[in-house]
Amino acid sequence: MKKYLLSLLIVLLFVAPLFCQAAGQKEKRLENFSFAQLKYPGGNWDPNPLAWEGLYPFLTGVTNIHPEKERRVLELSNMEIFEHSFIVISGDSGFPPFTEGEEQKLRWFFDGGGICFIDDATGILNSGFDKSIRRELKKIFPTQELNKIPFEHAIFYAFHLKPAVTGTQEAAAYLEGIEYNNQTTVIYSRNDLLGVWATDRLGNPVKKCTPGGELQRLEAKKLAVNILMYGLTGTYKLDAMHRNNIINKLKYKTLLNGKE
Amino acid sequence: MIKFEFTYWILVFIPAAFGSVWLILRFLDRRKRTIALLRAMIYLVLIFLLLQPVLVRIEKKLKKTPLAVLVDVSKSMDLKFSFHKYSRVKNLLKGPLDKLSGSHELSFYAFSSGISRVTKEELLKLDNPKGEFTDIGGVLNLAKEEIAGKASSNGGAILLITDGNHNAGPEPVEFAKSLGLPVSVIGIGDLKTGFDIELKNVLSSEIAFRNIKSTFTGVINGFNAQGRLVRVVLKKEGAEIEAKTAVLGKAGTETLVSFEYLPKETGLLKFELSIVPQNGEINKQNNRREFFVRVLKEKVRLLYISGSPNYEYRFLRQVLNNNPNYEVVTFIILRGLGDVLPFPESEYTLIPFPVYEIFTKEIFNYDVLIMENFSYRSYLPPELLKSINDFVEKAGGAFVMLGGPEAFGSGGYKNTAVENILPVELYDAGEEQFIKEPFRVKPAKHPINMLSEVKGENEEIWAQLPELKGFNRFMKAKPGAVVLGTHPVLKGSDGNYLPVTAVWQKGKGRVLAMAANNTWRWSMWLAGTGKGSYSYGRYWQQLFNWLISAPDVKQIIVAPERPVCRQGEEIKILVTVLDEFYQYEESAAVALSVIDPNGKTQTFNNLIYSGNGVYELLLPAELAGRYIFNASVEKGSKLLGLASNFATVNAATSEDYDIFQNEKLLKELAAASSGAYCDSGNIGDFVLKLKSSQIESISQTKAPVYDSPLFFVVIIVFLAIEWYLRRISGLL
């Protein structure tokens, strides 16, 4: 027995430094992404408080995105929004109009090159949140409209190949967006996309996905990752060198599914 | 005829007057009736005067028609085939056109590229017209402003006397249509007989790129030359490059002959396209054309390798994409080697990283290589890094390494070939610190760091920039490196502040080392101040300009406003002066020496400052050929810099050889404006037609009646009689 314990100790002595080194490298790693969510007065700014906890391990385990572990909650009353270039706005009810100062900050955020993902967590069309957010976007971009984002857009190829537009609900089979500063600066989902990530302490999903169940959840997860990847890499996947690869994979997917 | 000019309220007095008369006759006795009638008469006279009567006279008479005679005094009017063109014009002015003076109000104008009012005598005194161009479209446009308004109200016309060899300015037929006046034309010059081949035009872009094929297309017109075989020759700077043959189509159709040329050098190149003249051709001078093409360096190709998806890439890509001269190819490591893909590989758009192809071959097809937070260790052996050295030192490429935990020493570049070309010394992988504490970059005074030309503004912008978060700690800058930015507190092993951004020239190429990869924060924060993120883009643009040795980073630039001018024009030469920190220099001493095409040198010290660092000189281009400009700029006793450039002055225009008359154009002009055309050899009927257009004018004059003293006298007399009657009747 003593012999075994001694052997284990010797092994641990050799292996421990390796773990320490690995831990040290993790520590040194520069986070290149933070999940920054806007907290606005009135309404419910955080309908999926557990979403980031579900999304974080997926991003770190599957992609080369190195996010900060903690979610950042931003308010428009200070300058913190300008520390980020990708923010999330979510909600499930109407909210009062932003003040002129808050609108101005958002406008400058977009001027600087920021991108915003908006998620209507109601998963129904023409919800109170939908009306409020459209009203605010109209004030920030008086000359621009929310338009359907075509399926040729870089978002649909940023990491996963052409995921379906869905969430916990399927209110709209398309994303909407606003083009500004040579990029899609606003990406709007009405399907409660972040809701697919929310899990309880045992890892079970908090919300059911209807009507497609777990397959729908997987598609929604792919789309969410693609949106974050677009926030970091822009239209990289539309470069000419990716074209053949994407076309071939699309053909293959069509063969598998029998449709596209 | 008498007319009344009155206001209508006067009319209410008329029934009142008639009512009064009726009451007098009806109710008063004879004497009182007489007195009342007298008063009514005075009242009526006053009403008459209030109606403001005027006497109108109408006269009718025949009037001379205004006729603007526009005479072409361009150089081609001095040419002779069977007759001298301008002598024919003088004969017309003295003979048939002189007869028009009885029926027309003639005004004479001389035109070439402009128009000026002259007398007939001045036109007759002229023997050799010398105008450089014939701009019929422009002249008709000027005529519209100067004479059309006056003439059209009187039914006037324009008489154009020209050979119709329009060779400058807008197309004239459209102008003739919109003129609103008939343009009658007398065509001067022989009509084409025999056969002729003309190189009408050369279609080419004024700009071409080195190593990219350009196409030059000659447009050939044949006159009585259908089916003829022609040889077309392309020359560059006098040396033949290529020759082609073509068969001419039927009259009225254009034959196109195209040449492809691959420019190998940059600069302004002079080309000539010519058709080899044939025996019996009536005009051999219209067989060639010179043209100039400015060859620029081809697009700058950038290869961007990013070790992970991150904002720095997205923001830099925006900056690079905003420059149309840049072409960016990117590889981003979207998935780490330890990452697990939960779906089948076909569900991802990931592509393999062609690392061997890139580092052994492809790299040399680029001008700039950017490696951001990228460690080679997982992808290629260190020996292949040698190609990056060759790319910079031998091939003259630019190399950029941006920071991050996988860059510089942390990325394993210590003691590799890449370290040799970096302007900073690195720590070993285990020793290099990646410091996350925020810090504000301290900029050095250097042109690349200049974010505004306005003095004082640059410091303000840098002070507004936010802190960077995270940077690789270098050991120190290497000797010969130019440190552009330092840490404000930490020092390197040499005791100097730690370099954050450093550049240098290495062999033929240039290298930038930047310890951080989160300058995107500058863009966001600047926008948050409400001033926009322009300075962020400008900073990176300047860095790239320096790396690729773009001309924009020169302190002194001398350039003609137009690289190709025509003889007789003025060349506007602009000398742009920036001080050593790239701010507009307003008080420099600029000496510009000009070498003309004959080799004669003239120096000018009197250039005029026109703002934004620009000094100007207007130089008359009297000679055809190449003018060379050498600018020397000093401030105090310090030389700021030297610069050279040139402009080409083009002499040959079709004015030198257009001996015939362009009958087709002249007929179209006349038809478009409802005018008439005739050849100068058959003028008789034409003058008769112009004569018949005399017009009748009607004039009307008005003389006021109401201010005549006669009415005053009449009123006084009536009042006197009325007073007398009342007196003798005892009614006073």
The closest alpha carbon to B486, from B453, B521, B442, belongs to B442
Mean pLDDT, residues B538-551:
84
State the smallest CA–CA distance between residue A216 and chain B in angstroms: 14
How confident is the model at residue B527, as a pLDDT? 93
Cβ pair A64:B530 closer than 8 A: no
* Chain B residue with minimum CA distance to A183: B318
Measuring CA to CA, how many Å separate B363 from each of A10, B354, B397, B417, B548? Answer: 48, 11, 9, 15, 15
Distance in angstroms (rounded) separating the CA atoms of residues B43 and A122: 93
The closest alpha carbon to B214, from B327, B272, B294, belongs to B294
How confident is the model at residue B523, as a pLDDT? 94
Asked whether the predicted pLDDT for residue B234 surpasses 80, the reply is: yes
Residues of A within 8 A of B524 (CB-CB) are 82-85, 109, 112-114
Mean pLDDT, residues B91-118:
84
Residues of B within 8 A of A252 (CB-CB) are 346
DSSP string, A112-126: TT-EEEEEETT-STT
The values of phi and psi at residue B3, to 5°, are -125, 150
Distance in angstroms (rounded) separating the CA atoms of residues B615 and B583: 15
Mean pLDDT, residues A241-255:
81
Structure tokens at A260: 């596209």
Considering only the beta carbons, identify the residue of B520, B521, B533 that sits closest to A111: B533
Domain B196-296 sits in which CATH superfamily? Immunoglobulins (2.60.40.10)
The values of phi and psi at residue B161, to 5°, are -115, 110
Instruction: Specify the range with the lowest mean pLDDT, choosing from A160-169, B344-353, B678-687.
Output: B678-687
How confident is the model at residue A225, as a pLDDT? 96
Rg of chain A over Cα atoms, rounded to whole angstroms, equals 21
Q: Which CATH architecture has domain B554-650?
A: Sandwich (2.60)
How confident is the model at residue B312, as a pLDDT? 94
Cβ pair B314:A32 closer than 8 A: no
Which site among B311, B362, B523 would you substitute to test the A interface, given the most A Cβ atoms closer than 10 Å to its Cβ? B311
More confident residue, A223 or B561: A223
Question: Could you give the percent of chain B with pLDDT greater than 90?
Answer: 32
Distance in angstroms (rounded) separating the CA atoms of residues B416 and A12: 34
* Chain A residue with minimum CA distance to B406: A29
DSSP string, A15-83: HHHHHHHHHHHHHHPPP-B--EEE--SSS-S-S-TTHHHHHHHHHHHHSS--B-SSPEEE-TTSSGGGG
Tell me the pLDDT tens digit for each residue of A182-218.
899 999 999 999 999 999 888 889 999 999 999 999 9
Asked whether the predicted pLDDT for residue B213 surpasses 80, the reply is: yes
Considering only the beta carbons, identify the residue of A63, A111, A157 that sits closest to B349: A157
Question: What is the value of ipTM here, to two decimals?
Answer: 0.87
State the smallest CA–CA distance between residue B517 and chain A in angstroms: 10
Asked whether the predicted pLDDT for residue A173 surpasses 90, the reply is: yes
Tell me the pLDDT tens digit for each residue of B346-356.
888 888 888 88
State the smallest CA–CA distance between residue A160 and chain B in angstroms: 4
How confident is the model at residue A24, as a pLDDT? 39
**In chain B, what are the domain boundaries?**
2-60+701-728, 65-191+660-693, 196-296, 300-552, 554-650
Cβ pair A28:B340 closer than 8 A: no
Cβ pair A85:B520 closer than 8 A: yes
Distance in angstroms (rounded) separating the CA atoms of residues B143 and B154: 16
How confident is the model at residue A11, as a pLDDT? 42
> How does the average pLDDT of chain A come out, rounded?
86
Which site among A85, A241, A246, A251 would you substitute to test the B interface, given the most B Cβ atoms closer than 10 Å to its Cβ? A85
Q: What share of chain A is helix, strand, coil (3-state, %, to 5)?
A: 45, 15, 40
The values of phi and psi at residue B42, to 5°, are -60, -45
* Chain A residue with minimum CA distance to B523: A112
Contact of A254 with chain B, judged by CB distance below 8 Å, is answered with no
Distance in angstroms (rounded) separating the CA atoms of residues B22 and B13: 14
More confident residue, B534 or B101: B534
Let me know the angle formed at the C-alpha of B81 by B75 and B83, rounded to the nearest 5 degrees.
Answer: 90
DSSP string, B653-666: -GGGT--B--HHHH
Mean pLDDT, residues B17-42:
77
> How does the average pLDDT of chain B come out, rounded?
85
Cβ pair A233:B526 closer than 8 A: no
CB atoms under 10 Å from CB of A43, counted, come to 17
Cβ contacts from A onto B, under 8 A: 148
Measuring CA to CA, how many Å separate A177 from each of A60, A142, B310? Answer: 27, 14, 22
Contact of A222 with chain B, judged by CB distance below 8 Å, is answered with yes
Distance in angstroms (rounded) separating the CA atoms of residues B446 and B485: 10
Question: Could you give the percent of chain B with pLDDT greater than 70?
Answer: 92
Cα B210 to its chain centre, rounded Å, is 25
Considering only the beta carbons, identify the residue of A30, A62, A229 that sits closest to B339: A62
Mean pLDDT, residues B609-629:
88
Contact of A86 with chain B, judged by CB distance below 8 Å, is answered with yes
Which site among A25, A32, A182, A246 would you substitute to test the B interface, given the most B Cβ atoms closer than 10 Å to its Cβ? A32
Cβ pair A62:B311 closer than 8 A: no
Tell me the pLDDT tens digit for each residue of A36-70.
999 999 999 999 999 999 999 999 889 999 899 99
* Chain B residue with minimum CA distance to A59: B339
Residues of B within 8 A of A246 (CB-CB) are 349
Q: Report helix, strand or coil for B68.
A: strand
Structure tokens at B721: 């009689």
Asked whether the predicted pLDDT for residue B50 surpasses 60, the reply is: yes
State the smallest CA–CA distance between residue B610 and chain A in angstroms: 33
**CATH of range B65-191+660-693; options 3.40.50.2300, 3.40.50.360, 2.50.20.10, 3.40.50.410:** 3.40.50.410
Q: Which CATH architecture has domain B300-552?
A: 3-Layer(aba) Sandwich (3.40)
More confident residue, B687 or A245: A245
Q: Which span out of B189-198, B570-579, B639-648 was modeled with the highest average pLDDT?
A: B570-579
The closest alpha carbon to B439, from B487, B369, B481, B491, belongs to B487
The closest alpha carbon to B79, from B161, B165, B189, B187, belongs to B189
State the smallest CA–CA distance between residue A181 and chain B in angstroms: 9
Mean pLDDT, residues B118-147:
83
More confident residue, B56 or B369: B369
Cβ pair B526:A112 closer than 8 A: yes
DSSP state of B154: T
CB atoms under 10 Å from CB of B280, counted, come to 8
How confident is the model at residue A183, as a pLDDT? 93
Domains B65-191+660-693 and B196-296 share a fold: no
Q: What is the dihedral of CA A99, A101, A105, A106, to 10 degrees?
A: 20
Residues of A within 8 A of B527 (CB-CB) are 82, 108-109, 111-114
| Burial of residue B229 (number of CB atoms within 10 Å: 0-12, 13-18, 19+) | exposed
**In chain A, what are the domain boundaries?**
31-257
Considering only the beta carbons, identify the residue of A79, A113, A237 that sits closest to B315: A113
State the smallest CA–CA distance between residue B327 and chain A in angstroms: 11
Mean pLDDT, residues B551-571:
78
Which site among B327, B334, B410 would you substitute to test the A interface, given the most A Cβ atoms closer than 10 Å to its Cβ? B334
* Chain A residue with minimum CA distance to B337: A64
Instruction: Specify the range with the lowest mean pLDDT, choosing from B486-500, B501-515, B574-588.
Output: B574-588
Cβ pair A160:B349 closer than 8 A: yes
Considering only the beta carbons, identify the residue of B330, B332, B524 that sits closest to A112: B524
Considering only the beta carbons, identify the residue of B339, B530, B532 that sits closest to A64: B339
State the smallest CA–CA distance between residue A4 and chain B in angstroms: 32
More confident residue, B62 or B512: B512
How confident is the model at residue A205, as a pLDDT? 92
Residues of B within 8 A of A256 (CB-CB) are 346
Cβ pair B322:A65 closer than 8 A: no
How confident is the model at residue B80, as a pLDDT? 83
How confident is the model at residue A111, as a pLDDT? 94
The answer to whether B181 and B152 are in contact (CB under 8 A) is yes
Contact of A151 with chain B, judged by CB distance below 8 Å, is answered with no
Q: Which span out of A218-232, B2-16, B190-204 was modeled with the highest average pLDDT?
A: A218-232
| Burial of residue B307 (number of CB atoms within 10 Å: 0-12, 13-18, 19+) | buried
Do you know the residue count of chain B? 732
How confident is the model at residue B268, as a pLDDT? 75
**CATH of range A31-257; options 3.30.70.20, 3.40.50.12140, 3.90.1300.10, 3.30.420.40:** 3.40.50.12140
Contact of A81 with chain B, judged by CB distance below 8 Å, is answered with yes
Considering only the beta carbons, identify the residue of B321, B373, B533 that sits closest to A112: B533
How confident is the model at residue B2, as a pLDDT? 62
